[in-house]
Amino acid sequence: MEYNLLGDSVQIKEINETIKQVAPTNISVLITGESGTGKEVTANALHLLSRRADKPFIIVNCGAIPEGIIESELFGHNKGAFTGAIETRAGYFEMADKGTIFLDEIGDMPLSTQVKILRVLESGEFMKVGGSKYVSVDVRVIAATNRNLERDVANKSFREDLFFRLKSINIHIPPLRERKSDVKVLFNHFISSFSRKNKIEFAGIDNDAMEYIINYSWNGNARELRNFCESIIVLIPDRQLNIVDVKKNLSREVPDYRHLPALQFQAKEPTEKDILLRALFELKTDIMDIKHILNKREIEDINSSFIAEDDFVLKRNDIERMTQDEIDKEILKYLLKINKWNIIRIAEILGQTTRNIYRRIRKFKLSKRELNEY
């Protein structure tokens, strides 16, 4: 049985070859890529093609575990180690012994915990919370992140030694918009799977509708495409899909990034500045509450001097003079005000965890009182 990422693109074929080469080894792997590109699928393939395939595969979302308990979750704790520790408990690393542990969103892991992960990678040992002796495990570590860890290392928010230790092998999964030949393959796979599962016969899709799907930006990548297929096959089960059906059931048309001033000289991997500015543009189509603000000046006009007006003004010339932190702060202030301090909503817009948003709020010393005056 073969375990491959689906797709006809050169990038996916190369990734599948890398998976086959790397999987049988015990070397650590760092998987990078935007949210929804298939990082967990890649990690699962690495495990299933390894010599550890019949052993545990433990998935840990580092960004979803509160900072105060992450070490207990990863390494376990002894009875009485803290209030509520009524019994000794094994952590994820102990559960993964002889198998594989997948540390998803490792870029969100606290620095203090990163030190302990580095020790496990180097010696295979860790100490439980409240413990007095080291526990040895045989675990292969696969990590993933949608963050730019090189930038995080430069900003001192991620340990350089851990970064280089993890990056023995780096598998980068490009976003779906950069491998359009994969869209039709994934569409047909998802439709076939959901048709079979729900016992619904798919009546097909016309050429214009398929062309629209292929050229859609898919900001949520394969995950967004999967959700679209699942919903449309239930909503329109009895006739061929046309372009009206597709447009009606897609959440929004993502702007053509080639027309964004901030992305004119974009490198292969976007910077945080690019991502934040892109998120601001996407608000135009994503949040009805601010649509009337952004529409006061045509945002598609690449000769426009402004990115938005009224509550938030950011000129292109200003962008070049501002530091990363200054832009980060201004956009965060804007999002907090527009979304009435809805942290969950802001995290979704920026593709971040809520913990990261709170961390930035503390970093920039932002408060609701300040935003009322903003």
Q: What is the pLDDT of residue 341?
A: 86
Packing angle of the helix pair 272-286, 343-350 (nearest 10 deg): 120
Contact 285, 252 (CB under 8 A): yes
Q: By C-alpha distance, which of 55, 54, 63, 40 is closest to 171?
A: 40
Q: By C-alpha distance, which of 290, 288, 323 is closest to 308?
A: 290
Q: Where are the alpha helices (DSSP H) in the chain?
A: 10-22, 39-48, 70-75, 92-95, 111-123, 149-154, 160-166, 181-198, 207-215, 221-235, 243-249, 272-286, 291-294, 316-321, 324-338, 343-350, 354-363, 368-372
- Sketch the domain layout of the chain as residue ranges: 10-174, 177-249, 258-372
What is the chain's Cα-based Rg? 23
Tracing tokens 């969100």 back to the chain, one arrives at 108
Q: What is the CATH number of domain 177-249?
A: 1.10.8.60
Six token digits for residue 240: 């061929």
Q: How many residues does the chain have?
A: 374
Contact 129, 71 (CB under 8 A): yes
141 burial level (CB within 10 Å; 0-12, 13-18, 19+): buried
Q: What is the pLDDT of residue 296?
A: 36
Q: What is the pLDDT of residue 372?
A: 64
Q: What is the pLDDT along the chain (374 residues), one digit of tens a residue?
A: 456 789 999 999 999 999 999 999 999 999 999 999 999 999 999 999 999 999 999 999 998 888 888 888 899 877 766 666 667 788 899 999 999 999 999 999 999 899 999 999 999 998 888 777 888 999 999 999 999 999 999 989 999 999 999 988 999 999 999 999 999 999 999 999 999 888 888 889 999 999 999 999 998 999 999 999 998 888 887 888 889 889 888 865 444 433 333 323 333 344 444 444 444 444 433 433 333 333 333 333 333 333 443 444 454 445 556 676 777 788 888 888 888 888 877 877 777 777 888 888 888 888 877 666 55
Among 3.30.300.30, 3.40.50.300, 3.40.190.10, 3.40.50.2300, name the CATH number for the domain at 10-174: 3.40.50.300
Q: What is the pLDDT of residue 40?
A: 94
Tracing tokens 């543009």 back to the chain, one arrives at 281
| SS3 of residue 144 by DSSP | strand
Q: Is the dihedral of CA 28, 121, 355, 321 positive or negative?
A: negative
Six token digits for residue 283: 């608000």
CA distance 21 to 1: 16
Q: By C-alpha distance, which of 98, 87, 8, 106 is closest to 55?
A: 98
Tracing tokens 């027309």 back to the chain, one arrives at 259
